[in-house]
Chain A
Amino acid sequence: MTTARHTRPPALLYAVLIVVSAFAALPFVWMVLSSLKPLAEIFGQGFWPQHASLDNYRALFAQTPALRALGNSVLIAVLSTAGSLLFCALGGYGFAKFDFPGRNALFGVMLVSMTIPFVVGLIPTFILMRNTFHWIDTPWPLIVPGLANAFGVFFMRQYLSTVPDELLDAARIDGASEPTIFVRVVVPISTPALASLGIIFFMAAWNNYLWPNIVLRNPDAQTLPVLIASLQGSAGRTPYDLMMAGAVVSVIPMLIVFLALQRYFYSGITAGAVKG
């Protein structure tokens, strides 16, 4: 089928894309190149490293608890993602496939809760973590509150509403218990939705800074972004050489997750955006 399209040469479009991609990638490339330079050269005139080496990375891991911080970041991101996914799948399933008294009211409450900014409850949440749970300098403040993720429950409800009831009834006729149905039927058919949601959660946990900066004071408990930021202004001089290496280290896991799961990424972030 031929379509009536403008036949402006796409060369212009490629030019625009090349310029924009360069703008997007340049800080990135410069960050990686700088992480290979000695400190004096980072402030020097050249773009390419004159004496490229991995010394900054060695120094980062030798002089700071970066390895520990990397481990903390992985632990927190993985546990919070897994836990949130479980509770979002359960909640979404409950709302999508059952009719129980108070369902619509509870669902409404949950939707409204999404509009409350994080900072409004920030101070009491901190006090709760410190005085009641004694969770300062532990991973728990970064994992537990996020398990109540209204957007995630909403997202899973939308997805599971499209799953035919017959599928679940068939399992019931075969004598499966409700928990079995959840684990053996609901979770497997939710895999694409859980994947896109999981990436969103992982990215949010991985790059989070404000809240971990408040509840993680001890260097051994810190996540990678908190540790890197804390190097700024530490001990008089700012070790930009170590910070650039840390910045690169902090980006690599996200890049790997993204490259492996690109298509889920896009479908996750566009959820709810198109049908306003």
Chain B
Amino acid sequence: MTRPLDLAGPSAQRLPRPAPWRKHVWPLLCIAPFFVLFLVFGVYPVVFSLILSFQDWNGAPGQQQWVGLRNYAELSGDRYFWSSLLNSALIFVLHYPVMTLGGLILAVILNENRLRFQGLWRALIFLPHLTSMVAAGITFRLLLEKDSGLVNRALGSLGLPAVPWLDNEWWARVAVGLLLVWAWTGYQMVIFLSALQTIPSEVNEAAVIDGATRTQLFWKVTVPLMRPALIFVTTLSVIGTFALYTEPQVLTAGGPIHSTTTPTMEIYARAFGNVRYGYGAALSYVYFAVVVVATAVQLRLTREEKR
């Protein structure tokens, strides 16, 4: 091999030659780990799950049985599965408005320049979000205990009756909602706070000069400008509430009378409790479809609000 003639002078000689591996092989090597793992632990399970949903299988090798649509037929009459979807929807309705409005109001307050100890307030309100939901679930379980729980004792000292937090179907859903409000309001607040900081102060000043009250300013200026952040947290909350597992599992164990059982708990029970992998897979696919529809509806609604 002869070296190529140096025609361009000494500085050009130091430029790297356009080796194909720099341009094509190296970038593919960069993204390869992700895609290899994604194929094995992402694509394969999702496809396998769809096939499994047409089968009966207790996990023993060679025992798979093709049953066609039988799992789906059974599922259509599965009261517990459908009520688990309804439970998620109810828990969403119970906690989402409180958490989101609360987060937004707190963000507006903390966005106030004159406020002292901004970092301290923010950290304190964000603190619950760091807690593992197992630890929080156990703590709330004791706090909401009917007879000895701190919350009912506090209500009692105010002359209010004890609330059957974990013993009544509706109160149990409220209890799960309460835990979610506690864990997520600080997160919402941080999202809104960073969104608020992108609003130029002139916008608020103009509104104030036009005579807007604080309430008007909040609903007519701040909320519309928060739309991207609102859509983000709403999408996340819809998906997150349907995916709930740890909170109701530790706080209420899904009870009483299945009132706080969520789809993920139901899928877990069928697949690993009853050892019916095919049926569990069918449930997970219907669950997926419901979440896709719910998310699409939610995005549609938030888009239309704009007009």
Q: How far is the CA of A17 from the CA of B229 in the complex (A)?
A: 22
> Known: A23-B182, A24-B186, A172-B16. Contact between A31 and B135, CB under 8 A?
yes
Q: How far is the CA of A106 from the CA of B243 in the complex (A)?
A: 27
Residue B5 at the chain A interface, CB threshold 8 Å = no
CB distance from A115 to the nearest CB of B (A): 8
CB distance from B229 to the nearest CB of A (A): 6
By the criterion CB–CB under 8 Å, are A270 and B191 in contact? yes
Instruction: List which A180-229 residues lie within 8 A (CB) of chain B.
Output: 182, 203, 206-207, 209-210, 214, 224-226, 228-229
Residue A53 at the chain B interface, CB threshold 8 Å = no
List residues of chain B with CB within 8 A of the CB of A91. 30-31, 33-34
Instruction: List which A105-125 residues lie within 8 A (CB) of chain B.
Output: 106, 110, 113, 115-125
List residues of chain B with CB within 8 A of the CB of A50. none
Task: Tell me which of B74-82, B88-96, B120-128, B159-167 binds A.
Answer: B120-128
Q: How far is the CA of A182 from the CA of B22 in the complex (A)?
A: 12
Q: Which of B14, B41, B182, B264 contacts A24 (CB 8 A)?
A: B182
Listed residue (B38, B201, B229, B271) with the most chain A CB atoms within 10 angstroms of its CB:
B38
Residue B219 at the chain A interface, CB threshold 8 Å = no
Q: How far is the CA of A106 from the CA of B116 in the complex (A)?
A: 48
B: number of interface residues (CB 8 Å): 104
> Known: A30-B139, A117-B287. Contact between A16 and B191, CB under 8 A?
no
List residues of chain A with CB within 8 A of the CB of B29. 94
List residues of chain A with CB within 8 A of the CB of B122. 266
List residues of chain B with CB within 8 A of the CB of A144. 37, 41
Q: How far is the CA of A126 from the CA of B31 in the complex (A)?
A: 26
By the criterion CB–CB under 8 Å, are A124 and B48 in contact? yes
Q: How far is the CA of A34 from the CA of B259 in the complex (A)?
A: 29
CB distance from B220 to the nearest CB of A (A): 15
Interface SS majority for chain A: helix
CB distance from A260 to the nearest CB of B (A): 12
Q: How far is the CA of A254 from the CA of B134 in the complex (A)?
A: 14
A235-260 interface bits toward B, Cβ cutoff 8 Å, 1 = contact, 0 = none: 00000100110111011001100100
Q: How far is the CA of A203 from the CA of B129 in the complex (A)?
A: 10
Q: How far is the CA of A178 from the CA of B105 in the complex (A)?
A: 49
Interface SS majority for chain B: helix
List residues of chain B with CB within 8 A of the CB of A125. 41, 45
Q: How far is the CA of A117 from the CA of B281 in the complex (A)?
A: 13
By the criterion CB–CB under 8 Å, are A28 and B16 in contact? no
Residue A62 at the chain B interface, CB threshold 8 Å = no
B86-111 interface bits toward A, Cβ cutoff 8 Å, 1 = contact, 0 = none: 00000000000000001001100110
By the criterion CB–CB under 8 Å, are A31 and B139 in contact? yes
A153-185 interface bits toward B, Cβ cutoff 8 Å, 1 = contact, 0 = none: 100000000000000000011010010001000
Listed residue (A13, A106, A248) with the most chain B CB atoms within 10 angstroms of its CB:
A13
Residue A51 at the chain B interface, CB threshold 8 Å = no
Q: How far is the CA of A101 from the CA of B45 in the complex (A)?
A: 27
Instruction: List which B103-150 residues lie within 8 A (CB) of chain A.
Output: 105-106, 109-110, 112, 114-115, 119, 121-125, 127-128, 130-136, 138-140, 142-143, 145, 148, 150
Instruction: List which B252-272 residues lie within 8 A (CB) of chain A.
Output: 263-264, 267-268, 271-272
B1-44 interface bits toward A, Cβ cutoff 8 Å, 1 = contact, 0 = none: 00000000000001110000111101111110111111011101
A18, closest chain B residue (CB): B121
Task: Tell me which of B65-73, B168-176, B231-239 binds A.
Answer: B231-239
List residues of chain A with CB within 8 A of the CB of B191. 269-270, 273-274
List residues of chain A with CB within 8 A of the CB of B153. 45
Residue B187 at the chain A interface, CB threshold 8 Å = yes
Task: For the complex of A and B, list the 9 residue pairs with the smallest distance between their C-beta atoms, beginning with the closest.
Answer: A276-B228, A94-B30, A121-B45, A148-B37, A98-B27, A247-B135, A145-B41, A124-B45, A124-B48
**12 extra interchain contacts, Cβ-Cβ under 8 A, other than A28-B131, A44-B148, A120-B287?**
A3-B205, A13-B112, A17-B121, A20-B106, A101-B24, A103-B27, A117-B239, A119-B264, A144-B37, A210-B268, A229-B134, A276-B231
Q: Could you list 7 A-B pairs, sorted by A, with CB under 8 Å? A: A5-B208, A27-B139, A119-B287, A122-B284, A210-B264, A248-B135, A276-B232
